[in-house]
């Protein structure tokens, strides 16, 4: 796990509700905001699986 400066949207959510716990995840993107920007495709699949698992677990929590 690595901590980096990212997740602008998290800051906006916290501004609206400072009681939230927030986290930002995403695939590895290199050379961001340049004409050489690219995403590591393998990471996209991993993030997709993580997001699906989070959504599935949230549905289960809402049923409890």
Q: State the average pLDDT for the chain.
A: 83
User: How many CB atoms are located within 10 Å of the residue 9 CB?
Assistant: 10
Residue 50 lies in a domain: yes
- Which domain does 23 fall in, by range? 8-63
Judged against a pLDDT cut of 60, whether residue 12 lies above it is answered with yes
CB 27 within 8 A of CB 47: yes
Residue 2 lies in a domain: no
Beta-carbon contacts of 20 under 8 Å, excluding residues fewer than 6 positions away, are 13, 14
pLDDT digits (tens, 9 = 90+) for 21-43: 888 888 999 998 899 999 999 99
Residue 28 lies in a domain: yes
Domain count, the chain: 1
């Amino acid at each position: 796990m690595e901590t980096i400066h990212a997740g602008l949207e998290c800051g906006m959510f916290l501004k609206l509700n400072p009681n939230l716990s927030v986290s930002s995840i995403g695939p590895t993107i290199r050379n961001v905001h340049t004409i050489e920007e690219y995403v590591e495709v393998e990471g996209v699949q991993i993030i997709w699986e993580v997001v699906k698992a989070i959504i599935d677990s949230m549905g289960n929590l809402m049923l409890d």
